[in-house]
Amino acid sequence: MTPAAARTRITAAFTEAGLTGHLHARDIDTGDQLGTGADTPVATASVHKLCLVATLYRQASLGHLDPTRPVDIPAENRTPGVTGLAVMRDAARLSLRDLAHLTIALSDNTAADLLWDAVGRDTVNTTMAGLGLRRTIAVHTMRELYETLREDAAGDPTTYTDPTAVTRLRALDPTRTNRSTARDITALLTAIWRDELCAGPWGEELRAVLGVQAWTHRLASGFPFDDVRVSGKTGSLPTLRHEAGVVEYPDGGRYAVAVFTRAAATTMTLPAADAAIGRAARIAVDALRA
């Protein structure tokens, strides 16, 4: 399959699912690349948690923090969310690296904000800039991001299902919230898998953390094989469905893929849109492997 043919098929997969999409795929070992809209800034939603957790392990590798440090978590005032600590009722105590596991595995917003507090937004942005990812910028913690949603809705929950009102949400505007590009995110994943962000045990542990995500309905759905490993991080907000991760084949092939999509429909449940992410990623990886 030629790159042009692959891009045509990727665009068709997005269009058939009612999406506009941006994709970039990169062979981690050869550097071969394929993309469509790969340099367009996008609102990253929870995909930005990759940058946060990567920075945690970078800081640990430099000796600037101890990821085993325990954090006390009160039962009250937790960041909104539908998983993890946000829906748990009692006080808890967890290490920073266990919070990283929850941040990736369940996209736990409370766990992520505890990491933001420990690491610092400026440190995350400096780390990304140091990798040359100058289009990858954190503006909000998860707490702050959800506050913009609350403010922009002004008490009207129909805002999130009104196609016109949704376009005014700051959380969906890459000029006013956490942002990146598909190419930047695959560069970050490549640096992690090539031990360029942090080497040795820290790099191994970071990759292990990125492999624990519970969701398999997007990126992993395109690779339904027992011997293919998919490590990823989803991101979801009204009309936005994303995932970025690494696909590893038993023959040693390793591919970083980032897929960012926006739906025309405001429906929360769109299985065809989720499946299109896996389908587009598979087309891209097949083209690189060819």
Residue 14's pLDDT is what? 98
What span, in angstroms and rounded, lies between the C-alpha atoms of 95 and 102? Answer: 11
Classify strands 70-73 and 229-237 as parallel, antiparallel or unpaired: unpaired
Closest CA to 99 of 82, 89, 87, 84: 84
Residue 155's pLDDT is what? 86
pTM value > 0.95: yes
Residue 187's pLDDT is what? 98
Q: Which residue stretches of 154-270 are H helix? A: 163-166, 182-193, 200-210
Strand ranges in the chain using DSSP code E only, listed in sequence order: 19-27, 33-36, 42-43, 70-73, 92-95, 179-180, 229-237, 240-248, 254-263
> Cβ neighbours of residue 34 under 8 Å, at least 6 residues apart?
3, 6, 7, 24, 25, 284, 287, 288
What span, in angstroms and rounded, lies between the C-alpha atoms of 234 and 50? Answer: 10
> Cβ neighbours of residue 155 under 8 Å, at least 6 residues apart?
none
pLDDT (tens place) for every residue of the chain, 290 residues total: 899 999 999 999 999 999 999 999 999 999 999 999 999 999 999 999 999 999 999 999 999 999 999 999 999 999 999 999 999 999 999 999 999 999 999 999 999 999 999 999 999 999 999 999 999 999 999 999 999 999 999 988 888 999 999 999 999 999 999 999 999 999 999 999 999 999 999 999 999 999 999 999 999 999 999 999 999 999 999 999 999 999 999 999 999 999 999 999 999 899 999 999 999 999 999 999 99
Please count the CA atoms within 13 angstroms of the CA of 24 that sit on its side-chain side.
22
Closest CA to 170 of 188, 145, 194: 145
Q: Which helix (H) or strand (E) holds 53?
A: helix 49-61
Q: What is the extent of the structural domain holding 278?
A: 3-289
| Residue 194, phi then psi, degrees to nearest 5 | -100, 15
CA distances from 282 to 46, 92, 185, 224, 286 (A): 22, 40, 17, 10, 6
Number of structural domains, the chain? 1
Instruction: Output the domain CATH number for residue 241.
Output: 3.40.710.10
Residue 248's pLDDT is what? 98
Residue 1's pLDDT is what? 82
The number of residues making up the chain comes to 290
Residue 116's pLDDT is what? 98
Residue 81's pLDDT is what? 92
241, 263 Cβ separation under 8 angstroms: yes
178, 137 Cβ separation under 8 angstroms: yes
